[in-house]
Amino acid sequence: MNALLIIVNILVLFALMFVLFRMQKKHVSFSKRVFTALGLGIIFGFIIHLIYGTTHEVTTGSIDWFNIVGNGYVKLLQMVVMPLVFISIVAAFTKLKLTKNIGKISFLVIGILLGTTAISAAVGIGSALGFGLDGIQLNAGDAEKARNAQLEERVAGVENMTLPQQIIELIPSNPFQDLTGARPTSTIAVVIFAVFIGVAYLGVKRKESEHGEFFAQIIDTAYSIVMRVVTLILRLTPYGILAIITRVTATSDYEAIAKLGKFVVASYVALIVMFIVHLLLLSFVKLNPRNYVIKGLPTLTFAFTSRTSAGTLPMTIKTQTKDLGVSEGIANFAGSFGLSIGQNGCAGIYPAMLAVMVAPAAGVDPTSLSFILTLILVVAISSFGVAGVGGGATFAALIVLSIMNLPIAIVGLLISVEPLIDMGRTALNVSGAMTAGVLTSKATGEFDQETYQQPNIVEA
């Protein structure tokens, strides 16, 4: 009987996917298809949850099949991330997009990412203090105890590394290994390697122009192929979102979420406040934040549902260049650096909130100015090398709490609401990267104001 019910759920998912397919055939806009998928997934997931619950065999069996669409789509995006990062950065040099301003662009992108992370840390601290969050009140169940046991093993490696050693980890020793994404810092390592290749190309072009031109043709051809692959994958976005959000709503532990509701609310208040800060920064350089919200919403929605900044990278870059008027070179830099440096949600707000919550247990006054300033500085510096996938916030929190000599057990105590909060954190990470791209492009004079002001969203 259960097998029959699972088949029924699978058929329903296919029917909903067919609805999205018909919308595509009728040339319904990409953003409308994305939000239709989001709404259908929420409704379908809640129905499964209400009928069967989160642990019933029908639910788990159905989700297992749904993951072929959802997780399969995310894996396809992750498949193209490293090739896209490498080719995009090198192509920025071959297309002469970064020749004159490479130093200024790098400084601005990294500076904005770190600056907004420092602000997000301050916002997280304010939210935790304002809501009176206290880690001592949290209780550990079996799942939380198991999670903490895993964290103790993971934090051992973090505690044994000094901050300079963590920075050294960003430098690639084997770029081919990093192209496989083998390390948490692989993305930034690939960016560094690509920059060296780009600078080397400029030198070869000056001394051996024929070789330089031949290399540029190879890179430009590879860039066209990779971007075509990205386009093909992005067309699957509505189907991926439908399956992912169905899984999220069907399997969420709503009782645990209710118990930790205060922390969830405080987290989302901080995330929303920081998003408003992004909009204020755009307003400060005389750009209409409404255009940013409308054009960036499909990308932010996917980041929200998928919980992967790395998987969102193709959409992050395309939204910047096609919709927001950012030059290709800067969009590639901002998107790529944003995966590992200065993630406003995962590396900024979350670690800062946890540090405030556990400080009293360590005999530290979380309201003292010295603690707050130290925490903001530690969060900003520690935001280098945070993995751009689901779970990166855990790694960031472990680093910050370890450096501040605070207990790490609280990280495991929040396991039940981690997925829900991580959705908002990931969307904020992506928004931070896009904001850095727009601001840097505007500051360097490589910004297309007309594209930014156009009302229509370019289709994927």
Each residue of 173-186: pLDDT tens digit?
888 888 887 776 77
For residue 326, the cross-strand partners are 447
Q: What is the pTM of this model?
A: 0.80
- Residue 425: the pLDDT is 92
Of 185-194, 269-278, 326-335, where does mean pLDDT reach its minimum? 185-194
Q: Which of 96-100, 273-277, 297-301, 308-312 has the lowest mean pLDDT?
A: 96-100
Q: Taking residues 213-225, what's their average pLDDT?
A: 91
Evaluate if residue 149 carries a pLDDT over 60.
no
pLDDT, mean of residues 63-79: 90
Give residue 254's pLDDT band: very low, low, confident or very high (50, 70, 90).
confident
Output the pLDDT for position 163: 60
Residue 460: predicted pLDDT = 46
Q: Identify which has the larger pLDDT, 280 or 183.
A: 280
Q: What is the DSSP string of 372-407?
A: HHHHHHHHHHHTTT--SSTTHHHHHHHHHHHHTT--
pLDDT score, position 306: 82
Pair 120, 427: CB distance under 8 Å: no
* Amino acid code (one letter) for 264: V
Residue in the block written with tokens 């129905």: 47
Contact 407, 356 (CB under 8 A): no
What is the pLDDT at residue 141?
47
Distance, in Å, from the CA atom of 9 to the CA atom of 337, rounded to the nearest integer, reads 40
Residue 84: pLDDT band (50, 70, 90) is confident
* pLDDT band at residue 160 under the 50/70/90 scheme: low
Most confident among 138-142, 336-340, 381-385 (mean pLDDT): 336-340
> Per mean pLDDT, which of 42-56, 87-101, 394-408 is the most reliable?
42-56
Q: Does 402 have pLDDT greater than 50?
A: yes
pLDDT at 363: 87
**How many whole angstroms separate alpha carbon 357 and alpha carbon 139?**
14
Residue 436 predicted with pLDDT over 60: yes
- In whole angstroms, give the CA distance from residue 326 to residue 338: 15
The stretch 30-36 carries a mean pLDDT of: 86
Q: Which of 2-11, 105-114, 275-284, 357-366 has the highest mean pLDDT?
A: 275-284
What pLDDT does 13 receive? 95
pLDDT band at 387 (very low <50, low <70, confident <90, very high): low
389 pLDDT exceeds 70? no
Name residue, tokens 């430009």.
220
How much is the pLDDT for 159?
52
Given 3-state DSSP classes, what are the helix, strand and coil percentages for the chain, each rounded to the nearest 5?
Answer: 80, 0, 20
pLDDT value at position 35?
86
Q: Which of 17-21, 33-37, 166-170, 300-304 has the lowest mean pLDDT?
A: 166-170
Tokens standing for residue 2 = 């259960």
Percent of the residues in the chain that have a pLDDT greater than 70, as a whole number: 87
Give the best-scoring range by mean pLDDT among 84-98, 156-170, 183-197, 232-246. 232-246
pLDDT value of residue 142? 47
Biggest CA–CA distance in the chain, Å, is 73
Model confidence at 96: pLDDT above 90: no
Rounded average pLDDT over 54-72: 91
